[in-house]
């Protein structure tokens, strides 16, 4: 009797100190140690329960209740500290693993740029680095810019070659059939010299097949100056661009007489090439010629329509963007460039 009474009183006396000690615990290891000391197999509280064994029912209840109270208080205190520690750990973890949403994304797993977009960007960079202006023009044009000012007046037979989409309800408004109309816009500004390129969409009423699409992109180049420019300058410009685009040093270019109403003389541009593994490989030692561009010296009538008079020289040229991309990458069907087949997009896409 005396034994149990003294032990329980001693436990009650120590309770506050133990609870303070529990509150101060800074790790689960420390808590476990205290728990073992008090509530473990041979802990102080557990031992007191052991002492209840030989007591009468009434005493068992009396002292049992007091020991249980101590036990519950200790368990509560332990639980509260555990919860507090877990919260702290979580905050620490969140702090450590915080994602900085302002950091740049390493974009090698997500989307890619479509090959047409990335090649157009590359071409623009090339020209900008050489001091050309890169300008855009509207895709919906009037026939003055698309035809008349380019020396193709209303009944000029050359117009028949351009199967044009006209805009319903408007007299002379159309989807441009060529980027040459941006030449006109640049020249009408009247500031010389001009060194410009324009790259954009053009439209023709063509049935879709392996080499045709009703929408395709063109690159237009124009250089105009008051001091003399000749076919040699044009050719050198073409060689520079072709070497840069196809990433080859030794390019051989041949100019063949041709006709474009807005050039005099007009010419078709061929490049030497050979076939390597079914792909076209441009090289000055190639045994075949490939037509790659249209070009010429600006026709005097075009200068006249654009309000440029006096001594003036100019040359212009155009490339089909899809065509040169297809040649460079061994793509045989233009439709592959517009398909939404994820495998093709993945394969031909370029890192952004
Ligand atoms: N605009 C012509 C076409 O779409 C291509 C062209 C040929 C543009 C000769 C030029 C050039 O600037 O000089 O067929």
Q: How confident is the model at residue 108 (pLDDT cuts 50, 70, 90)?
A: low
Q: How confident is the model at residue 277 (pLDDT cuts 50, 70, 90)?
A: confident
Report the atom number in ligand 1 closest to the C-alpha of 150.
Answer: 1
**Ligand 1 atom 4: the closest Cα is on which residue?**
178
**Ligand 1 atom 14: the closest Cα is on which residue?**
178
Give the pLDDT mean for 157-166.
Answer: 85
Quick check: 1 pLDDT over 60? no
The Cα 221–Cα 239 span in angstroms is 13
- For the Cβ of 221 lying below 6 angstroms from any atom of ligand 1, the answer is no
Give the pLDDT mean for 233-255.
Answer: 97
- For the Cβ of 186 lying below 6 angstroms from any atom of ligand 1, the answer is no
- For the Cβ of 296 lying below 6 angstroms from any atom of ligand 1, the answer is yes
The Cα 324–Cα 217 span in angstroms is 11
Contact 237, 161 (CB under 8 A): no
CA of 294 relative to ligand 1 center, distance in Å? 5
The Cα 35–Cα 160 span in angstroms is 97
CA of 169 relative to ligand 1 center, distance in Å? 28
pLDDT for 109 equals 67
Residue whose pair of structure tokens reads 């200068």 in the numeric block: 303
The Cα 265–Cα 255 span in angstroms is 11
Pair type for strands 173-175 and 140-142:
antiparallel
- For the Cβ of 286 lying below 6 angstroms from any atom of ligand 1, the answer is no
Angle between helices 57-96 and 2-24 (to 10 degrees): 10
SS3 for 116-185 is: HHHHHHHHHHHHHHCCCEECCCCCEEEHHHHCHHHCCCCCCHHHHHCCCCECCCCCCEEECCCCHHHHHH
CA of 246 relative to ligand 1 center, distance in Å? 20
Contact 227, 314 (CB under 8 A): no
Q: What tokens were used for 56?
A: 């009468």
Quick check: 104 pLDDT over 90? no
**Ligand 1 atom 13: the closest Cα is on which residue?**
295
- For the Cβ of 260 lying below 6 angstroms from any atom of ligand 1, the answer is yes
**Ligand 1 atom 3: the closest Cα is on which residue?**
178
DSSP assignment, residue 350?
Answer: B
Whether omega before 265 lies within 30 degrees of 0, making that bond cis, reads: yes
Whether omega before 105 lies within 30 degrees of 0, making that bond cis, reads: no
Contact 226, 245 (CB under 8 A): no
- For the Cβ of 180 lying below 6 angstroms from any atom of ligand 1, the answer is yes
Task: List pLDDT tens digits, range 226-241.
Answer: 999 999 999 999 999 9
- For the Cβ of 178 lying below 6 angstroms from any atom of ligand 1, the answer is yes
For the entire predicted model, the pTM comes to 0.71
Angle of CA points 178, 338, 288, to nearest 5°: 65
Q: Any idea which of 6-15, 136-145, 220-229, 275-284 has the lowest mean pLDDT?
A: 275-284
- For the Cβ of 220 lying below 6 angstroms from any atom of ligand 1, the answer is yes
CA of 110 relative to ligand 1 center, distance in Å? 38
Task: List pLDDT tens digits, range 168-191.
Answer: 999 899 999 999 999 999 999 989
- For the Cβ of 295 lying below 6 angstroms from any atom of ligand 1, the answer is yes
pLDDT for 26 equals 92
- For the Cβ of 7 lying below 6 angstroms from any atom of ligand 1, the answer is no
Contact 201, 139 (CB under 8 A): yes
- For the Cβ of 141 lying below 6 angstroms from any atom of ligand 1, the answer is no
Q: What tokens were used for 232?
A: 């040699």
């Amino acid at each position: 009797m005396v034994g149990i009474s003294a032990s329980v009183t001693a436990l009650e006396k120590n309770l506050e100190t133990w609870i303070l000690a529990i509150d101060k615990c800074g790790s689960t290891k420390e808590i476990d140690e205290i728990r073992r000391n008090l509530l473990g197999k041979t802990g102080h509280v557990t031992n007191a329960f052991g002492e209840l064994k030989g007591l009468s029912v009434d005493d068992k209840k009396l002292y049992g209740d007091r020991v249980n109270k101590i036990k519950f208080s200790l368990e509560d205190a332990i639980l509260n500290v555990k919860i507090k520690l877990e919260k702290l750990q979580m905050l620490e973890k969140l702090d450590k693993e915080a994602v900085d949403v302002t950091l740049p994304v390493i974009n090698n797993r997500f989307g890619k740029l479509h090959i047409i977009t990335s090649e157009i960007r590359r071409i623009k960079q090339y020209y900008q680095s050489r001091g050309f202006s890169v300008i855009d023009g509207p895709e919906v044009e009037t026939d003055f810019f698309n035809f008349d000012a380019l020396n193709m007046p209303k009944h000029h037979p050359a117009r028949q070659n351009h199967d044009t989409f006209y805009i319903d309800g408007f007299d002379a408004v159309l989807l441009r059939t060529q980027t040459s109309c941006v030449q006109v816009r640049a020249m009408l500004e009247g500031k010389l010299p001009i060194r410009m390129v324009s790259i954009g969409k053009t439209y023709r009423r063509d049935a879709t097949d392996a080499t045709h699409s009703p929408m395709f992109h063109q690159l237009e180049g124009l250089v105009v100056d008051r001091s003399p420019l000749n076919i040699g300058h044009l050719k050198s410009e073409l060689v520079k661009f072709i070497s840069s685009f196809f990433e080859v040093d030794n390019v051989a270019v041949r100019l063949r007489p041709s006709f474009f109403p807005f050039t005099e003389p007009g010419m078709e541009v061929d490049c030497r090439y050979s076939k390597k593994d079914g792909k076209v490989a441009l090289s000055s030692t190639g045994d075949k010629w490939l037509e790659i561009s249209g070009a010429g010296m600006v026709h005097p009538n075009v200068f006249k329509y654009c309000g440029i008079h006096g001594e003036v020289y100019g040359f212009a040229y155009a490339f089909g963007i899809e065509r040169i991309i297809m040649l460079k990458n061994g793509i045989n069907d233009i439709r592959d460039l517009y398909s939404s087949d994820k495998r093709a997009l993945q394969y031909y896409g370029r890192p952004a």
